[in-house]
Structure 1
């Protein structure tokens, strides 16, 4: 998550102040009446018929496909069974999303090598998501039976015992016994019929009624694990999607940098050099007619050359500063800090240098953070710290500015956060109202033996 300085400073971003009124009852007493508890109970109750249907389908179709493997029909039937399990998996993800609030991404789609039934059959059989959906169909049914029995028993007995004082009169009037029978044999019978026993029964029922939502919630935790682990994308496919996204971010960032360099060259140094060439041409023409004017024009051209060289140095520094390549992060960040309008203390504690790519990202991360400090934080002092913890490189920029940065509304540093994410890095902002602001960046540590 990232944020930026600027207009977000000074906003009232204290969490919890904009929410509704604080509930009067504690969570333990509210749970039996909350909508979440009703949805979780509904999920468990629906799990039994859904699990029965899914288990029956999976066992029947897989058995039929396995039995037909001696013929050419076995493989298509088995593929159809797996495809049906994938369809049931989509239904289960929707059920978990609606009742449990569990948002599980779809698994990797089928990618047949070419159109046609044979290619589609092969894609279904090769897909790990298809077999995980089949495993879910086989595992979910016995768990659904168990969770259904536990949930119905706990909820039913809890509320029945809690309301026992209201329906106790049914026993002596219609059943012909003194009350709810706890024990009985040929000679002795124990009924809950006196006020003390009825009160104790209601209190025990209250405990069961209060515990029932938490028991059901514990049961649905297993359902969450099953849905997330078997019906969602595998870790490998999720990692592939993440790397593809990161690759797109890197490509877009590189293209944006190339456009920025081209714009800076066209509007800056190139335009200045074109003007310089024209001035030198005019000075050459006037050299014989008016030597003093020609000398004055050459002197002005000399100043333009210095300005163009400075612009080129600044542009080269923006691409990759020479001091970073030659002397490392300590010297490069000290140079950046010296150009910041806010006094900055730099402390780099690294026994060796990271890989050039990581070193460059760390340099530009600190550079952009210090630019934000100088432009928007209204700080009197700032500090930059760089150190290594095991296989991670940590950067921290702290200022004593006004604080109050909104971590959810950042836009200027969004590209920076995306670049860090592209190399498995993160950016964390801690900026309470009134300051201080603490921005921490974390990068993977990699070394390059050849420099």
Structure 2
């Protein structure tokens, strides 16, 4: 039997109880506040150990530089601080939800290949990450002391005052009179015992308890900057790695394009021209004996010449279309849209042309996306929008097809995303099952 709701019990979609309270009131009871409090409390002992170790190693290493022991002491100290940095990154990940990647590994110093220890020490001393760990140990210590004092004082005081009605009875009696009399007439007691005083104390405690999580959040924001800025990978090194990866993508893409051009020439225009030459040779032989057959063969060869010329034009357009060079993106994309299997509206809003390389990438990006629309989308219409946003060139291709496009599916969209990333571009695909599909590409302007 189907159940019937007669209004008894809670509604089916009742919001959780905590949602009735604003975030400012829920903050003291959420796990994030307690995790941040734990982070600030642990910072003091850990920062003290790291600071003491850093100062000791730095002083000892500097003092021993007059001997051969100074360099090994410095290297061992920096290696120890890198290990401490790994602990700090793990602590930030567990308590602050801050995921900072490990810095670049130590690379052996050149010229010391025959001595593994010397190469390792040279790599440690020449690594910028090692010295950033030293800076972290030295400068995080005073901040850790400040954060510990503020967090513990406010957290303990706030909860103590908020819960004052539960423990105020624990004050001892003094000579049979409640509290310690500060004045001879007994008008003032040492502790707060009237209902108004108890309520006011709890109110002050409530304010402190509510405000403390937000203060701790501000304090841990500085800790986040310390960890991310000093214990993570160098931005320069990260950028170099990205550029090396992008260079590999560009080289692979260029090689693939050259192979495609060679294959198209070999299988298309070249094959037709070879066949054309053979047909013309046969026509030449039959010219005297059978002029009519020779004329038919020449006519067929003329048709093959037209097809070969069209293939060469298509191939040249695939390398770099002349209309793009002469008239820009608006005309070039309109030409691409006219060859699409579905009607396409093109809107280009650019005050001037971007860099030629970026313009070419934008053209081929839209061309490939419209080819996907023609082959796979089963759409009835599509649209292309191009505009400039600050120093970025924005492209958006949409269709009303079946959707389901995904860059992670190993399709052509994945390769397109890689080619865009090689020039600091981004490809975003919004294609739910059933459609519609919207693909947005973002490229640097570089005009």
Please give the TM-score of this superposition, normalised by the length of structure 1: 0.81
For 1:15, the equivalent position in structure 2 comes to none
426-435 or 188-197, which deviates more = 426-435
Question: How far off is 1:287 after superposition?
Answer: 5.7
The residue number in structure 1 matching 2:86 is 90
Unaligned runs of 5+ in 1: 1-19
Query: How big is the shift at 1:225?
Result: 0.3
Q: Comparing 256-265 with 89-98, which one deviates more in the overlay? A: 256-265
TM-score w.r.t. structure 2 length? 0.81
Q: Work out the number of aligned pairs and report it.
A: 423
Structure 1 residue 72, shift from structure 2 partner: 1.7
Matches within 5 A, 1:200-349: 200-277=200-277, 279-280=279-280, 292-340=292-340, 341-347=342-348, 349=350
> What is the Cα deviation at residue 140 of structure 1?
1.3
CA shift digits 1:344-383 (9 cap, x unpaired): 23435344x4432122112212323433455537354634
Q: Name whichever of 366-375 and 104-113 sits farther off.
A: 366-375
* Unpaired segments ≥5 residues, structure 2: 1-14
Question: 8 Å contact 1:32–1:209 — kept in the other structure?
Answer: yes
Give the aligned partner of residue 76 of structure 2: 80
* C-alpha distance in structure 1 between counterparts of 2:131 and 2:183, whole Å: 54
Is the CA contact (8 Å cut-off) linking 2:407 and 2:417 kept in structure 1?
no
Once the two structures are superposed, residues 136-175 of structure 1 have per-residue CA deviations (whole angstroms, 9 ceiling, x without a partner) of: 0011111111111221122212222222222223225799
Corresponding residue for 1:57? 53
Aligned equivalents of 1:335, 1:378: Cα separation in 2? 19
Greater Cα shift, 94-103 or 187-196: 187-196
Q: 1:397 is matched with which residue?
A: 396
Larger Rg: 2
Q: Secondary structure at the match of 1:109?
A: coil
Distance 1:131 1:316 in 2: 54
Give distance in 1, aligned partners of 2:219 and 2:378: 49
Q: Are 1:58 and 1:137, in contact at CA under 8 Å, matched by a contact in 2?
A: yes
Distance in 2 of aligned mates of 1:403 and 1:44: 52
Cα distance in 2 for residues equivalent to 1:273 and 1:97: 65
The root-mean-square deviation of aligned C-alpha atoms, in Å, is 3.5
Give distance in 2, aligned partners of 1:285 and 1:174: 134
Q: Note the alpha carbon deviations across 1:120-149, whole angstroms, 9 max, x for none.
A: 323222222111110100111111111112
Distance apart, 1:301 and its partner CA? 3.5
1:186-243 deviation digits (Å, cap 9, x = unpaired): 8853421122322222232222222222222211111100001111122221221221
Contact 2:407 2:413 in 1 (8 A): no
